[in-house]
Structure 1
Amino acid sequence: MPLNANDRAIAGFTMAGHALVHWFETSIPIFLVVWLTEFDVGVALFGIVVALGYAPFGLGALPGGILADRYGTKRLVLVCLAGMSLSFLVLAAANSIYAIAAGLILWGVAASVYHPAGLALISTGVEDRGTVFAWHGIAGNAGIALGPFVAATLLIFLEWSVVAAVLTVPGILAIGYGLSAEFDPTAAVADDANAGPDEALSLSEIVGNTRTLFASAFAIVFVLVTFEGLYYRGTLTYLPEILHGLSAMDGLALPAGLEGIEPADYIYVGLLVVGMAGQYAGGKLTSRVTPARGLTGIFVVLAALGLAFVPVTATGVGLVPIVVLCGVLGFFLFAIQPFYQNAVALYTPPDARGLSYGYTYLAEFGVGSVSIALGGVVLGQLSQTAFFAMIAAFAGIGGLLAGALLVSGDRFVTGDGTLEANADD
């Protein structure tokens, strides 16, 4: 069934926001290569500077969710777009490492509010939530793939400061589109008197909503999203480096003019592109498969894929098995996201939806980033086999938690401590 007008308007607005968050996010490592030469400082120091930008991206999700519940989701998404665009203009004007640090921190703070605000908007405003979650995820994957591609291509012809400024153009256009877009942000929960933003939200209400959430099945969702984040961040951070070191990549002929590009990079980008299909399939399946059942099944597949990388990367197999395995991984790594996004919408009350997604993305991007440090230690001190075993264990634990969610049913605890069913609004 086609989306109604309100669903289409929210879909277009949130898809633009999601694509741009990841457009900016994944272009930063491309600039890092240039900055290391431009400013002649050590990679360790610049690594800290870049980390200062990425850290608020995850840590700011929780306050972003609180602000979304208080001031409204559309307003927060527009602030996010404006802040990210401004941050890259700061980078464009930067003439020192300190100015770059300021620009990156501004980006991280601005970007952190998107996921809780954007997903809360979809969950309360969209009737066909599964379809819009799918298209929303596809837009995010498009941003992930296009950000570094466009940045790297423009850097061939332009100075990095000019490229940083050019990358803000889609953000500025998206702000104009968002200001003109009209939709009802609470259309899907119109019968709930508490569905809209709460201008009188107090600290005690935030604490009360938090207690309500974590005294319910949402506590299981939070922990399983943490393990999904550990799997996601660890895999996507270190897989490119692992692929670069495989013997199958050696001597692979590339078309004329592309000799300087690593084949492993094409495989990695291909994984992200396949992820778009995974996002769409996962989103459509959420209307047919319960979140708990879908999460359980996909976690099992992800655990098996993690273990499958051990023989594929250790035995010197050909290029085809590597490409196929990466493609399957890309599909399921992103197919799981609409299921946990829908699980949050199912297991939480509408008036705490922004807070719920704030906690969710604190788990996904904040706590989940711990696997970057863990992966570095395991790869440096142990082996790739140990790394993939760790990754598979993350998925295995997530699968057990999803199984527990499947048993618990769709119930949440209300503010007065009583249990009541939460309908799939």
Structure 2
Amino acid sequence: MALNANDRSIAGFTMAGHALVHWFETAIPIFLVVWLAEFDVSIALLGLVVALGYAPFGIGALPGGILADRYGTKRLIVLCLAGMSLAFLVLATSTSIYAIAVGLLLWGIAASIYHPAGLSLISTGVEERGTVFAWHGIAGNAGIALGPFVAATLLIFLDWQYVAAILAAPGFLAVLYGLTAEFDPTAAVEDGVDAGADEALSLSDLLDNSKALFASAFAIVFVIVTFEGLYYRGMLTYLPEILHGLPAMDALALPDELEGIEPADYIYVGLLVVGMAGQYVGGKLTDRVPPARGMAVLFAIFAVLALAFIPVTTMGLWAIVALCGVFGFFLFAIQPFYQNAVAVYTPADTRGLSYGYTYLGEFGLGAASIALGGFVLDVSLGWFFVMIAAFAFAGMLLSAVLVAGLDWFADAKATPETAPDD
């Protein structure tokens, strides 16, 4: 069925927002490599600084959702886009590691608004939700791949400060687009039903709903998602720096006309592109494989892949490229499974709140691996991958607990279509 005008307008607005959130998010690890050399700091210290940006990205999801309910989703998304762009201008003018920390913190706070506001807007304003959620997910994946690709390419020709400023430009264009976009944010809500735009969740309601939520199997799902976030964030943040330091990269001789190109950055971009296929396949498999079983298998693969990096990083270029491609595919294949698990293992009347907590675990608590990873990398690259594999092993064990028979906690069953893409 073709989208109506209102659906198309919301789809375009939210796709732009979702792409830009991840455009900024995945460009930051490319800058991390440059900042290490620019400011002559340890990777442990810079890891703490980067964690300051990524942590509020998830921690702010709950208050972001409450603010969206009170002030309206469109207004909050426009504010998010403006805030992220301004934060990258702060980065562009930074002359110290402390200014970098401020810029990243501002970015994390602004970015935290998007997911609860964007998903809420689609759920209340779009008639063809499944189609728009699919395009919304594709746009996010495009941003994930394009952000580091554009950053790495521009760094060949320009200083990092100019690159940060250029990356901010699409955000300001999206703000102008958002201010002029017209749509009904409650078009999909039945007549007489309040979508919640004028009624914020009270503190007592939040506490009561949270208690009900964590009395369900979501308590386990939340921890599983947190371990997935620890794995995801630790690997994607430090992989560009790790790849830069490998002997295979140092031994790769490029022609003089290609001077300045960093092959490691493009390997990183490549695994993110492969991840788009992984998320598509994972989404298709959620129709056939129960979410807990799928997560258990994928976490087991995660653990093997993390440990495989220990010997492969000492091998040749093509072995590294192959492992990164496999890693990228499976890293994103798990997202539809945990999103579907949230829908399956939560009480129906706390479904929206459950996704707020999901992003808190994924992006907020998951950012702890950035700080931990920096300290561990100062000691040993091998131990870093062992730590990452331990996160995956914990996720596998908890997923196996769900497989073993905690279905009695779930008081609702949902189809995969109810679980929006990240």
How would you bin the TM-score normalised by the shorter chain?
0.7 to 0.9
RMSD: 3.6
Q: How far apart in 2 are the matches of 1:423 and 1:271? A: 31
| Cα pair distance change 1:134/1:255, threshold 3 Å | farther
What residue in structure 2 maps to residue 415 of structure 1? none
Whole-angstrom distance in 1 between the partners of 2:287 and 2:124: 16
Matching residue of 2:209? 209
- 1:381 matched to 2:379? The reply is yes
Aligned to 2:241: 241
Moved more, 354-363 or 173-182: 173-182
User: How far off is 1:307 after superposition?
Assistant: 3.0
Say whether the 8 Å CA contact 1:130–1:286 is kept in structure 2. Answer: no
Q: What residue number does 2:183 align with? A: 182
Query: How far did residue 270 of structure 1 move?
Result: 1.0
Following the alignment from structure 1 to structure 2, what is the Cα–Cα distance between the partners of residues 312 and 405? 33
Identity over aligned pairs, percent: 74
The 1:391–1:77 alpha-carbon spacing in structure 2 relative to 1, beyond 3 Å, is same
Match of 1:367 among 341, 365, 368: 365
The one-letter code matched in structure 2 to 1:20 is L
**Is 1:168 aligned to 2:159, yes or no?**
no
1:313-332: CA deviation from partner (whole Å, max 9, x where unpaired): 3xx43333322211011011
Q: 2:316 aligns with which of 290, 315, 318?
A: 318
How far the C-alpha of 1:28 sits from its partner, in A, is 4.2
CA distance in 2, matches of 1:58, 1:154: 28
Per-residue deviation at 1:205? 0.7
Q: Distance in 2 between matches of 1:131 and 1:200?
A: 28
Contact 1:194 / 1:350 at 8 angstroms: preserved in 2?
Answer: no
Aligned partner letter, 2:402: L
Shift in Å, 1:271? 0.8
Q: Give the structure 2 partner of residue 416 of structure 1.
A: none
- In structure 1, stretches of 5+ residues that fail to align are 413-419
1:123-165 Cα deviation digits (max 9, x unpaired): 5666776665554344333323322433454456566655444
| Residue 213 to residue 373, structure 1, CA distance change in 2 (3 Å) | same
Separation in structure 1 between the aligned mates of residue 305 and residue 359 of structure 2, nearest angstrom: 24
Answer yes or no: is the 8 Å Cα contact 2:156–2:260 preserved in 1. Answer: no
Instruction: Give the whole-Å Cα distance in 2 for the aligned partners of 1:122 and 1:326.
Output: 34
* 1:225 paired residue number: 225
Cross-structure match for 1:112: 112
TM-score norm. by structure 2 comes to 0.81
Residues 344 and 413, structure 2, Cα contact 8 Å, conserved in 1: yes
How much does 1:78 deviate?
Answer: 2.3
Separation in structure 2 between the aligned mates of residue 151 and residue 264 of structure 1, nearest angstrom: 13
User: Could you tell me which residue of structure 1 aligns to residue 77 of structure 2?
Assistant: 77
Taking the aligned partners of 2:384 and 2:48, their CA distance within structure 1 comes to 24
Q: Contact 2:55/2:365 (CA < 8 Å) preserved in 1?
A: no
The aligned residue for residue 341 of structure 2 is 343
Report how far residue 281 of structure 1 moved: 2.3
Which range moved further: 17-26 or 202-211?
A: 17-26
Asked if structure 2 preserves the Cα contact closer than 8 Å seen for 1:70 and 1:197, the reply is yes
- Greater displacement, 124-133 / 371-380: 124-133
- Report whether the alignment pairs 1:402 with 2:399: yes
More displaced stretch, 199-208 vs 139-148: 139-148
CA distance in 2, matches of 1:170, 1:359: 29
Q: CA deviation at 1:202?
A: 1.1
8 Å contact from structure 2 (residues 29, 238) kept in 1: no
AA in 1 matched with 2:263 = P
What SS does the corresponding residue of 1:105 show, helix, strand or coil? helix
CA shift for structure 1 position 370: 1.8
The one-letter code matched in structure 1 to 2:342 is: V
Which has the higher mean CA deviation after the structures are superposed, 355-364 or 202-211? Answer: 355-364
Deviation, structure 1 residue 375: 2.7
Partner of 2:13: 13
- Provide the C-alpha distance between the structure 2 equivalents of 1:186 and 1:79, rounded to a whole number of angstroms: 22
Alpha-carbon spacing, 1:281–1:378, altered in 2? closer, same or farther (3 Å)? same
After TM superposition, give the deviation of residue 199 of structure 1 in Å: 1.0
Distance between the aligned counterparts of 2:302 and 2:94, measured in 1?
Answer: 42
- 8 A contact 2:48–2:374 mirrored in 1: no
Tell me which amino acid in the other structure corresponds to 2:225: V
What residue identity is the alignment partner of 1:389?
A: V
Aligned to 1:421: 412
Say if 1:132 and 1:283, in contact at 8 Å, map to a contact too: no
Give the SS at the match of 1:421. coil
Aligned partner of residue 276 in structure 1, secondary structure: helix
DSSP 3-state at the match of 2:257: coil
Note the residue ranges of structure 2 that are not aligned, 5 or more in a row: none
The alignment's TM-score, normalised by the length of structure 1, stands at 0.81
Deviations 1:48-69 (A, max 9, x none): 6555433322322232233234
Contact map agreement 2:47 2:373 (CA 8 A) in 1: no
Distance 1:285 1:340, change over 3 A: same
Contact 2:27 2:147 in 1 (8 A): yes
> What is the SS of the residue equivalent to 1:257?
helix
Is it true that 1:356 corresponds to 2:354 in the alignment? yes
Give the secondary structure class of the aligned counterpart of 2:334: helix
Q: For 1:250 and 1:11, how far apart are their aligned partners in 2?
A: 44
**Contact 1:19-1:142 at 8 Å conserved across structures:** yes
Gap change, CA 1:12 and 1:57, over 3 Å in 2: same
Which residue identity lines up with residue 227 of structure 1 in the other structure?
Answer: F
How many residues align structurally?
413
Task: Call closer, same or farther: CA 1:297–1:100 in 2, change over 3 Å.
Answer: closer
In structure 2, the residue matched to 1:273 is 273
